[in-house]
Chains A and B, each alone.
Chain A
Amino acid sequence: AQSVTQLGSHVSVSEGALVLLRCNYSSSVPPYLFWYVQYPNQGLQLLLKYTTGATLVKGINGFEAEFKKSETSFHLTKPSAHMSDAAEYFCAVSGGTSYGKLTFGQGTILTVHP
């Protein structure tokens, strides 16, 4: 069984500040990890993913995440927030016999203040 916990349902930052969205996972098999973003009234869009190899992965819009196996974490960061980053962000895990089956976290709403 797999699960994802996103710490903080709401995160608020100022424009230009560091963005840090936290994600911890549980998986009995080597995980594949993902971050998706959802803008209002839209579907989810893949930001970045970790499957194997380099533990620091870069995604679209300047976001990156680091897979830390010892901490079972996959936190999402961006050095400088932009107003257009305001959205809801979902961390997800897959693995085992159903790598296509994603288990999502509860989501974190990111607000960016001018």
Chain B
Amino acid sequence: DTAVSQTPKYLVTQMGNDKSIKCEQNLGHDTMYWYKQDSKKFLKIMFSYNNKELIINETVPNRFSPKSPDKAHLNLHINSLELGDSAVYFCASSRGSPGELFFGEGSRLTVL
């Protein structure tokens, strides 16, 4: 029983395409996140949702659009993919303990 699951795990696509990554958590948590880990392993928060409401929106290009249909799901849609979007995208969730996040296994996006 995977607590935080992401699909797909690997995604290879061409520049200019649009792609989505899906995330689901079965932990009953209220808050979900998207983090980006670049090629140097640097992790940076992108978005956070609490009960389907956007609460953190870092300086991310508007080509990235998160959507939370319910509090167990947080999807990430990326338009007009660029080479610099290549990274591992991690979904995470938390209940209430600040900073205590449960991470998915990541989705490795490669843009050619």
- What is A's interface to B at a CB cutoff of 8 Å? 32, 34, 41-46, 49, 51, 88, 90, 92, 94, 98-102, 104, 106-107
Do residues B41 and A106 form an inter-chain contact, with CB atoms below 8 A?
yes
Confirm or deny: B66 has a beta carbon within 8 angstroms of a beta carbon on chain A: no
- B contacts with A: majority SS: strand
A104 to B45, CA, bound (A): 9
A residues near B105, Cβ cutoff 8 Å: 41-43
Do residues B41 and A49 form an inter-chain contact, with CB atoms below 8 A?
no
Do residues B41 and A100 form an inter-chain contact, with CB atoms below 8 A?
no
Number of chain B residues whose Cβ lies closer than 8 Å to a Cβ of chain A: 25
- A contacts with B: majority SS: strand
Confirm or deny: B43 has a beta carbon within 8 angstroms of a beta carbon on chain A: yes
**Distance to closest chain A CB from B31 (angstroms):** 6
Q: Assess A44 versus B101: contact at CB under 8 Å? Given A98-B56, A104-B44, A107-B41.
A: yes
Which of B4, B98, B102 contacts A100 (CB under 8 A)?
B98
| Interface 1/0 per residue, B29-64 and A, CB below 8 Å | 001010000001111110010000001100000000
Give the contacts of B74-112 with A (CB-CB under 8 A): 90, 92, 94, 97-106
A42 to B43, CA, bound (A): 14
Can you offer 16 A-B residue contacts whose CB atoms are under 8 A?
A: A34-B100, A42-B106, A44-B43, A44-B92, A45-B103, A49-B99, A88-B41, A99-B99, A100-B55, A102-B45, A102-B99, A102-B101, A104-B43, A104-B44, A106-B41, A107-B43
A residues near B41, Cβ cutoff 8 Å: 88, 106-107
**Distance to closest chain A CB from B1 (angstroms):** 15
**Distance to closest chain A CB from B66 (angstroms):** 15
A34, A43, A49, A88 pick with most chain B CB within 10 angstroms: A43
A100 to B42, CA, bound (A): 18
